[in-house]
Structure 1
Amino acid sequence: MIIKDITNYIEELAPLSYAEDFDNVGLLVGNYQTEITNILVTLDTLEETVDEAIAKNCNLIISFHPIIFGGLKKLNGNSYVERTVLKAIKNDIAIYATHTALDNSKNGVSAKMSEVLGLENTKILIPKKGIIKKLTTFVPSTKAADLRNSLFEAGAGNIGNYDQCSFNIEGRGTYRGNENSNPVIGEKGKIHTEKETRISIVFESKNEAKILKSLHDNHPYEEVAYEIITTENIHQNIGMGMIGELPTAMEEKEFLLFLKQTMNTECVRYSELIHNKIKKVAVLGGSGSFAISNAIRAGADAYVSADFKYHEFFKAENSILLADIGHYESEQFTKNLLVDYLTKKFTNFAVILSEKSTNPIYYI
């Protein structure tokens, strides 16, 4: 078993194409072809994390947060990032990060928060744009059905609860091949008119390479005419945050105490109480102040996230209870999510949950 086998499986849960543009996800240190000994799963990768990997004979660290976020211009060991990367390289330990790819997964960070809090009827809080693409191609009408089916098998044509979706227009295409051409239909040097079907079909960006391969492998023409555009359509099952309902409504203070205990946090910072019962709850792991307005528009009674600044608590405007439970605390169960996911698939080596807390914040 090599690292690529592991990362391929992780990317079924959290495709790298789901990550935000600012992020740095994927294999940050190491080689995809390295054989696996054991895997250590952690929220952050620090020097002590690498030491733990060494002690437990793990040569792959799967980390939620990327240790390399911006560009590294040197590796002199003058910062904790440089020292961590150097130690990993010296000990042949690879580092893989999921971060916002897992944030945007339907079964990712916010889904785990929802599970821990017992939320029901959950859905994505901020569905993501730029994930749905559209392929348009032209094929001889006699071959249209075969090509469509091959594209469906490659993952195209899925829209919500429907699959094998496409739009087709009949028409006539023209072409003339030069002296170097080898036309399947028609003769080189002569204009040819062919009855063609224009096929338009949508797909998730993560499947683009597979769909293009299927297109070229199954299209009869020597030169395949096609175009791909990225749509502005949102994907209801991919995106940041989740919103759901508690099984039973709670008073605000009851909910805050429940939150403190369930999320195992020493401190919950919250906005002014508005004396509403809490039933509908929005959650987002990590720094989530950008989604306050989304939670309000979605009709949430409470919004649970982290890293709210002073002035951002005013955004509650007596319409929602804002609860900041801490960055680490909001994401802490992500490790368990990844370990559970990996152990269901791989049993020929150990997938180990890191025992060390990497939370840099303490309370008194």
Structure 2
Amino acid sequence: MIVKQVIAILEELAPLAYAEDFDNIGLLVGDQQSEVSGILVTLDTLENVVDEAIATNCNLIVSFHPIIFSGLKKITGANYVQRVVIKAIQNNISIYSMHTALDNSDQGVNAKICEVLGLQNSKILIPQKGTIKKLSTYVPKNDAEQLKKILYKAGAGNIGNYSNCSFTVDGVGSYKANEKAKPIKGEIGKTHFEEETQISITFEKAVEQNVIKVLLEHHPYEEVAYELTTLENTNQNIGIGMYGTFVNSMPESQFLDFLKEKMEVKCIRHSNLLGKPVKTVAVLGGSGSFAISAAKAVNADVFITADLKYHQFYEAEGKILLADIGHYETEQFTKNLLVDYLTKKIPNFAVRLSESKTNPIKYF
């Protein structure tokens, strides 16, 4: 198995097309064509993680956080980022990062938190906009069904729990081929009228390149006329954060004890207790202050996240309990998620959970 094949498997879980614009994800170090001897999964790629990869004969590190976030102008070993990159290159180790692509997956970081807490009926907290595309094209009537089947196979026509979705309209198209053309129907220099079907079909942004490639390869016309638009429809399966409910509610103090136990945290920074039972909980792994208003909008009793600043606790406004459990702590089970996923996809391959400690924050 080569690096490119592992990447394809990982992108089934978290397509890079859904990563945030500010992020730096994908293959950060290495060659896609390299043979993989073993995969080491980690939250952060630090020097001790690269050492662990060397010791365990793993030449591909799958990391949640990207070790290279902003551009590197020099690689001299002057800081920890440069030292990691140098050591990885020297030892032919590839590094692949998923970060916000996995954050925005409905099977990713926040789904794992919901699973650990036992939340039911989990939904996306902030659906990502612009993830649904619509293709419209025109094809000879007799070729329409075959082209639709090909587009379905490429990933088009999927809407939520439904597949093979499309809309067609029959009409008459016209064109006139010049002397350089090679029309499949009609004559050079004469306007030709053809009974055509207009096919409209939606698909997720992640498969856009493949859908257009297949369209151009299999459309019968020499020149393919098509329109591509981004829809305003909300895709409920792609986005940041999640929220769900407990089967039975519990008092706030009991919930905080429960949260410490389940998420294995030493302390919780939280806003004022409200004296009401906890039933609906919103979660967002990592820095999630921007989602406080979204958590209140879904009537969550508690919002679990990390990296809240002093004044952001005021945004609770007596409507929600804010619980900051720490950045590492909210994301710590992500590597378990990835190991389980890769092991199921490639069961006869060496996939290891990193034992290196990468949390930079200590508690006294």
TM-score of the pair, normalised by structure 1: 0.98
Correspondence for 1:207 = 207
Further displaced range: 279-288 or 201-210: 201-210
Return the offset for 1:196.
1.4
- What is the alpha-carbon distance in structure 1 between the residues aligned to residue 289 and residue 168 of structure 2? 44
Distance, in Å, in 2 between the alignment partners of 1:41 and 1:175 is 56
**Equivalent position of 1:196 in the other structure:** 196
Name the residue aligned to 2:232. Answer: 232
Please tell me whether the aligned partners of residues 104 and 239 of structure 2 are also in contact (alpha carbons under 8 angstroms).
Answer: yes
Secondary structure of residue in 2 paired with 1:123 = strand
Secondary structure of 1:31's counterpart equals coil
**Inter-partner Cα distance in structure 1 for 2:205 and 2:276:** 42
Q: Which residue of 2 aligns with 1:24?
A: 24
Unpaired stretches in structure 1, ≥5 consecutive residues: none
- Counterpart in 1 of 2:33? 33
- 1:136 alignment partner in structure 2: 136
Q: Secondary structure at the match of 1:237?
A: coil
Instruction: Letter of the 1:146 partner, please give it.
Output: Q
The aligned residue for residue 126 of structure 1 is: 126
Question: How far 1:348 moved relative to its partner?
Answer: 3.4
Which runs of structure 2 are paired with 1:1-364 in the superposition (5 Å)? 1-364=1-364
Equivalent position amino acid for 2:137 in 1: T
* Preserved contact between residue 304 and residue 323 of structure 2 (Cα < 8 Å): yes
Give the letter for the 2:90 counterpart. K
Q: 1:99 deviation in Å?
A: 0.3
Distance 1:247 1:57 in 2: 45
Distance 2:128 2:6 in 1: 26
SS of aligned partner of 1:236: coil
Q: What is the CA–CA distance in structure 2 between the aligned matches of 1:297 and 1:224, rounded to whole Å?
A: 45
- What are structure 2's unaligned runs of at least 5 residues? none
- Of 295-304 and 159-168, more deviation after overlay is shown by 159-168
Query: Alignment partner of 1:172: what SS?
Result: strand
Single out whichever of 225-234 and 129-138 deviates more from structure 2: 225-234
Cα distance in 2 for partners of 1:327, 1:68 equals 18
Greater Cα offset, 182-191 or 167-176: 167-176
Distance 1:261 1:247 in 2: 18
Q: 1:142: Cα distance to partner?
A: 1.8
Question: How far, CA to CA, are the matches of 2:347 and 2:155 in structure 1?
Answer: 28
Q: What is the Cα-based RMSD across aligned positions, in Å? A: 1.0
Q: Distance in 2 between matches of 1:9 and 1:345?
A: 7
SS at match of 1:294: helix
SS of equivalent residue, structure 1 residue 235? coil
What letter matches 1:326 in structure 2?
G
TM-aligned CA deviation for residue 41 of structure 1: 0.4
- How far 1:193 sits from its partner (Å)? 1.5
Q: 1:213 deviation in Å?
A: 2.6
Moved more, 216-225 or 315-324: 216-225
Percent identical among aligned pairs is 62
Q: AA paired with 1:299? A: N
1:269-295 deviation line (CA, Å, top 9, x unaligned): 000011010010011110111111001
Residue 119 of structure 1 deviates from its aligned partner by: 0.4
Specify the code of the residue in structure 2 equivalent to 1:268.
Answer: I
**Partners in 1 of 2:132 and 2:24 — Cα distance?**
21
Superposed CA deviations along residues 241-262 of structure 1, whole A, max 9, x for unmatched, are 1110112211001111111111
Secondary structure of the corresponding residue to residue 4 of structure 2? helix
Contact 2:292 2:315 in 1 (8 A): yes
Residues in 2 aligned to 1:59 and 1:232: alpha-carbon distance in whole angstroms: 42
Give the distance between the partners of 2:168 and 2:287, measured in 1 at CA: 44
Alpha-carbon separation, structure 2, partners of 1:139 and 1:48:
58
State the AA in 2 paired with 1:105.
S
Q: Distance in 2 between matches of 1:247 and 1:305?
A: 22
CA contact (8 A) 2:343 2:349 kept: no
After the TM superposition, which of the residue ranges 231-240 and 60-69 deviates more from structure 2? 231-240
The whole-number CA distance in structure 2 between the counterparts of 1:69 and 1:189 is: 57
| Amino acid of the structure 1 residue aligned with 2:60 | L
Normalised TM-score (structure 2): 0.98
User: Contact 2:42/2:64 (CA < 8 Å) preserved in 1?
Assistant: yes
Rounded to whole Å, the distance in 1 between the matches of 2:166 and 2:344 is: 35
Moved more, 126-135 or 159-168: 159-168
Residues 51-85 of structure 1: CA deviation (Å, up to 9, x unaligned): 11111111000000000111111101111111111
**Per-residue deviation at 1:154?**
1.5
Distance 1:191 1:70 in 2: 56
Structure 1: distance between partners of 2:146 and 2:343: 38
Quick check: 2:306–2:325 contact (8 Å CA) kept in 1? yes
Instruction: Report the count of equivalent residues.
Output: 364
Q: 2:23·2:69 contact (CA, 8 Å) conserved in 1?
A: yes
Q: Per the alignment, in what secondary structure is the counterpart of residue 195 of structure 2?
A: strand
